[in-house]
Structure 1
Amino acid sequence: MDVVLEADQLGKRYGNTWALRDCTLRLPAGRIAALVGPNGAGKSTLLHLAVGLLRPDAGAVRVFGQSPYDNTNTLADIGFVAQDTPLYRDLSAAELVTAGARLNRRWDGALARNRLAQLGIPPDRPVGKLSGGQRAQVALALALAKQPRLLLLDEPVASLDPLARREFLQSLMGSVADTGTTVLLSSHLLADLERVCDYLIVLQSAQVQISGSVDDLVAEHRQLVGPRHDGRSPAGVAAVVRASHTDRQSTLLVRTDSAINDPAWTEREVGPEDIILAYLADGGTAASHIEWGVPA
């Protein structure tokens, strides 16, 4: 398995506060990965470390096997769209495409121009006068014109209306299908992520709670409804991620390591959103440092 992005006990501290701590994960090539977590969980910090804008205070981050910090060879293969889609607002989209050709050794200006034309974005209007959705599309087109092997997107659709979000994500999916680029997409919008992502990383309290293929995570998590839970779990349960109780009944979201064949418990399938919310609600006490397929 080719690994595009790897973090090993990665940490970044601002003063006495750890924005990211003991972060260990591996992102396989060819995935569209969702990076999920509440505000302050460390998502933007992780992306800035991966793109080389920050230097780690602990551990290491590697992109294509190398440190991205002050490494022009690695940075040439990374595309990055920051949360506020920073662009030179006085320049037009056409001027930004021309500037990109001068700043990047591998540049597909025709790709950017064709994408913008397909979206009906005026090439000669200053981007500061475009809508938020149009600016996001310009930023994505410029990032893709770099022909990156890894594309990092930090909340690129947070401020967009539902139609603009759908258009942006459709554009992203089409581009990835054409190029095979690996994508790491940070967002709070779980429904959008569920439609486009096949890999999941959950951050909470500056640490990775769980990461892995969406299909594997769904297959290995279940909701159980049964008698009041007394701390003893049915055979096949590796960990109780989240539990709620009434006087006589318990509802558990569990990670399994084998089939559950206990008639006292009713088993139900769960979706990615159920899993994400359970790990976020847990706050990191039950499943810290889990990387799917690797023992905690």
Structure 2
Amino acid sequence: MILETEALAKRYRRRWALYDCTLAVPESAIVGLVGPNGAGKTTLLQLIVGLLGPTAGAVRVLGGTPDAAMRSGRVGFVAQDAPTYAGLTVADHLSMGGGLNPHRWDAPAAAERVDRLGLRLRQRAGRLSGGQRAQLALTLALSKRPDLLVLDEPVASLDPLARRAFLDETAAAATATGTAVVLSTHLVADLAHVCTHVVVLAGGRIRLAAAIAELCTNPAELERVVLDELGRASGEGHATR
């Protein structure tokens, strides 16, 4: 397994943001992590990439600790705001990516992707559209040639066309390289479009984790399954916001 958690939990003072989370992600899977705002999605992803430490339980990434996996360069991460540096050019970002990942950086692939997306090397990131910044952040993550790519709702603020383009690029790149992906979203439509597996999170608890092919045969049926799970969670008083 590329990623495993066992009874993973995170508490902020008296509030449990994540509780009793047990999960296994196989190699090359594209996992859609879906749930309402406040469900614990960002907390789970930050535990996976080592930005947070667990209150209880364990998480193993690529057979080791999240910190070790991140230091090795084998994990790519795009945070919710698709972080880029407004004052740096596209070329500056690529140079920085190569400097931070000297042993894994695929400079030709990064240059080809930037050119294909129409991003001008001399253009400052602050002048890019939201979709372009998201694509630049994805380029930096993919050019590390990661074994695991973690995306925390990077398309949440994008218009439908930009969102679909980002998801298409992600799925194509992951399929071509065998990279496993964990993609957080609150839009069920995103799941059917690119994902092979779905994890439903509500109220800090995993409500469902399965291969999409085992659950349904079409997008409408997948939406019904996910919404039914979220409805049950809300009825039990577990779901938040």
Could you state the TM-score of these two structures normalised by the residue count of structure 2?
A: 0.93
RMSD, aligned CA? 1.8
CA distance in 2, matches of 1:208, 1:37: 10
Structure 2 residues without counterparts, runs of 5 or longer? none
Count the aligned residue pairs: 235
Equivalent position of 1:22 in the other structure: 20
Structure 1 residues without counterparts, runs of 5 or longer? 220-268, 289-296
Give the letter for the 1:196 counterpart.
V
What is the SS of the residue equivalent to 2:2? strand
Q: Which has the larger radius of gyration?
A: 1
Contact 1:82 1:153 in 2 (8 A): yes
Equivalent position of 2:91 in the other structure: 94
The alpha-carbon distance between structure 1 residues 68 and 154, as it changes in their structure 2 partners (threshold 3 A), is same
Equivalent position of 1:55 in the other structure: 53
Equivalent position of 1:194 in the other structure: 192
Kindly state the Cα deviation for residue 177 of structure 1 after the two structures are TM-superposed.
Answer: 2.0
Kindly state the Cα deviation for residue 159 of structure 1 after the two structures are TM-superposed.
Answer: 0.7
Per-residue CA distance 1:85-126 (angstroms, 9 max, x = gap):
111111111111111111113101221111111011111111
1:276 to 209, 226, 238: 226
Contact 2:50 2:70 in 1 (8 A): no
Greater relative contact order (CA < 8 Å, ≥ 6 in sequence) = 2
CA distance in 2, matches of 1:73, 1:155: 19
Superposed counterparts of 1:75-94, under 5 Å: 75-94=72-91
Per-residue CA distance 1:152-174 (angstroms, 9 max, x = gap):
00101111111111211121122
Equivalent position of 2:107 in the other structure: 109
The more displaced of 160-169 and 41-50 is 160-169
What is the SS of the residue equivalent to 1:18? strand
CA distance in 2, matches of 1:99, 1:173: 25
Equivalent position of 1:7 in the other structure: 5
* Identity between Structure 1 and Structure 2 (%): 49
Contact 2:28 2:175 in 1 (8 A): no
2:179 to 161, 178, 181: 181
Contact 1:9 1:60 in 2 (8 A): yes
Hey, which of these two has a bigger chunk of helix by percent?
2
CA distance in 1, matches of 2:66, 2:181: 16
Could you state the TM-score of these two structures normalised by the residue count of structure 1?
A: 0.76
Equivalent position of 1:171 in the other structure: 169
What is the SS of the residue equivalent to 1:283? helix
CA distance in 2, matches of 1:40, 1:116: 34
Superposed counterparts of 1:84-233, under 5 Å: 84-104=81-101, 105-218=103-216
The alpha-carbon distance between structure 1 residues 27 and 128, as it changes in their structure 2 partners (threshold 3 A), is same
Kindly state the Cα deviation for residue 192 of structure 1 after the two structures are TM-superposed.
Answer: 2.2
Contact 1:209 1:284 in 2 (8 A): no
Hey, which of these two has a bigger chunk of strand by percent?
1
